[in-house]
Structure 1
Amino acid sequence: MLAEVLKGCGKLTIAVSGGVDSMTLSCFAHRTLGRKAVQMVHALSPAVPRAATARVNVQAKHEGWRLKVVDAGEFADERYRANPLNRCFFCKANLYQTLARLSEGAILSGTNCDDLGDFRPGLQAAAEHHVRHPYVEAGFAKADVRVLAKHMGLEEIAELPSSPCLASRVETGIRIESNNLKGIDAVESWILKKLAPETVRCRVRSSGLAVELDPQTLASLTEHQKTGLAREVRRIYGRHAALEVNLETYRQGSAFVNPAPGGTR
């Protein structure tokens, strides 16, 4: 079914972020339709983890993709930088405007059926820019995407944890700054290497930083280890010793303040 959806798109451009959904879609489309029919575009931004950009570049070289790396320009948009509840709308609107200038046909995203029930202002931006969602059209949920990735021999990609952009770690209303996002990326990368948790999020809040870990990892830490971890997080994030750092259990979307489906832009 997914192959039929893609074949009906003609020439296409895929927004590839470096996550499991868009990476799998890019590989599948490239292998199904061929190099001439598909181009991938990756937006380089402080909000994109360095590991995601590296992953895209490695896979593009391995698969032989036609890849363009661009600046989508969201950091020049004060509506995005102000970090309102619907920040994602402005981010995606800038991205899709950029892709429209580069596109050779349909613009595709890696949105899957599981995403449709979440608070995702970016889907409104996608609709306004006529972006297609092949996984949704083919009835694919996240689990189906992971199965497809494994079937294609993309085991490492199939096991990637969900990881929204770094700006999603900043509490609603706190201005988006590149230095904060770099600090978030550095903290999360260090914790992943040191503790190998199932989930980690470094949240920027008005009260300081919150490092959220999956329950198993958090429960495994002694009080001494927690104190040392908080101290190292302050150092890596690059702020003074008085910065409050709390270790907490992971809660999806906890940086949002009163997220409500149906919010206006």
Structure 2
Amino acid sequence: MSALPHLARLATVIADLPPLAVAVSGGIDSLTLATLAHRVAPTPPMMIHAVSPAVPSAARALIESHAEAEGWNLHLLDAGEQNDPNYRANPYNRCYFCKSNLYGTMRAATDRTLASGTNLDDLSDHRPGLDAARAHDVVHPFVLAGIDKAAIRSIARHLGFTAFADLPAQPCLASRVETGIAINPRDLAFIDRAERSVRERLGRGETIRVRLRRDGVHLELGSALDPAREAEIAGIMMCLCTDENRLFAGMAPYRTGSAFLREATE
């Protein structure tokens, strides 16, 4: 896939938008958008990263190093979602409350047009956060330019972003907690620590999800392991769980959104 047509469309979209404040989460989408916006926007954008227990520690480190290398105007803000009982209750639309807090905090910090890294693929998924984005008049340059996830990866590779071009998707840590189990920083810290421990053994390109469910802690992996490696990883998880008096419930293949339970319907 050639990145040039996508780059040209995206650059045109960005150039036609008012001065931007870009929400940067640490994933490939927002990092690519923020970097290109910084390079082509008529007015240098403001980058905003929400500091939160739900953000993987590696994501913040990547943002800060990339921001320094690119010369961004980076602002770190506490979006305050941990103070919102609706978010902490972890309902089926938890993301709505998370994004409402984020965009509300961004709006309080700037009068610029708010922008997100949402792409075409996101529109076909369950994304309550998009409702919050509409309520706060957030623009989605990738959507306006007709760009999906594959095209974003192509753009990132073309621009030489080797630090994150081929990283697996890394949604917030709260997405690992089964719907209805209250979100708390201790659980999020455990998930982050466990995923980092497993990633140290399997490499940064592996898809890893530590899920907290009612029956215990589950580990999901994007690739099958040989028996010896699987036993090693299971041993690591058992030790981590034992240290925090948690039950390790086993390993399974990665399944998108497997901790999400949809709202019951009649």
TM-score of the superposition, structure 2-length normalised?
0.91
Aligned to 1:151: 158
Matches of 1:23 and 1:80, distance apart in 2: 25
Deviation at 1:225, TM superposition (A): 3.2
Secondary structure of the structure 1 residue equivalent to 2:180? coil
For residues 168-188 of structure 1, the C-alpha deviation after alignment (integer angstroms, 9 at most, x for no partner) is 000000000000000000000
Deviation at 1:223, TM superposition (A): 6.7
Secondary structure of the structure 1 residue equivalent to 2:164? helix
Matched, 1:164 2:171: yes
Aligned to 1:118: 125
Match runs of 1:180-195 below 5 Å: 180-195=187-202
Deviation at 1:37, TM superposition (A): 2.8
Secondary structure of the structure 2 residue equivalent to 1:176? coil
Assess if the C-alpha contact under 8 Å between 1:11 and 1:104 holds in 2. Answer: no
Aligned to 1:96: 103
Q: 1:139 aligns with which of 139, 146, 149?
A: 146
* Structure 2 letter corresponding to 1:143: A
Aligned to 2:113: 106
Secondary structure of the structure 2 residue equivalent to 1:46? coil
Secondary structure of the structure 2 residue equivalent to 1:210? strand
Query: Unmatched 5+ residue regions in structure 2?
Result: 1-8
Matches of 1:243 and 1:107, distance apart in 2: 42
Aligned to 1:48: 55
Aligned to 2:78: 71
Matched, 1:256 2:260: yes
Matches of 2:145 and 2:227, distance apart in 1: 41
Aligned length: 256
Assess if the C-alpha contact under 8 Å between 2:234 and 2:251 holds in 1. Answer: no
Matches of 2:36 and 2:250, distance apart in 1: 41
Assess if the C-alpha contact under 8 Å between 2:23 and 2:114 holds in 1. Answer: yes
* Structure 2 letter corresponding to 1:162: A
Secondary structure of the structure 1 residue equivalent to 2:220? strand
Change (3 A) 1:103 1:203: same
Deviation at 1:150, TM superposition (A): 1.3
Deviation at 1:101, TM superposition (A): 1.4
Change (3 A) 1:188 1:105: same
Matches of 2:250 and 2:182, distance apart in 1: 21
Change (3 A) 1:222 1:147: closer
Aligned to 1:82: 89
Deviation at 1:226, TM superposition (A): 5.5
Deviation at 1:216, TM superposition (A): 1.9
Aligned to 2:6: none
Secondary structure of the structure 2 residue equivalent to 1:251? coil
Matches of 2:47 and 2:103, distance apart in 1: 13
Deviation at 1:109, TM superposition (A): 0.1
Matches of 1:222 and 1:82, distance apart in 2: 36
Matches of 1:175 and 1:152, distance apart in 2: 40
Q: CA RMSD in A?
A: 1.8
Assess if the C-alpha contact under 8 Å between 1:119 and 1:259 holds in 2. Answer: no
Q: 2:36 aligns with which of 11, 28, 36?
A: 28
Secondary structure of the structure 2 residue equivalent to 1:69? strand
Secondary structure of the structure 1 residue equivalent to 2:61? helix
For residues 149-199 of structure 1, the C-alpha deviation after alignment (integer angstroms, 9 at most, x for no partner) is 111111222111101100000000000000000000000001001122621
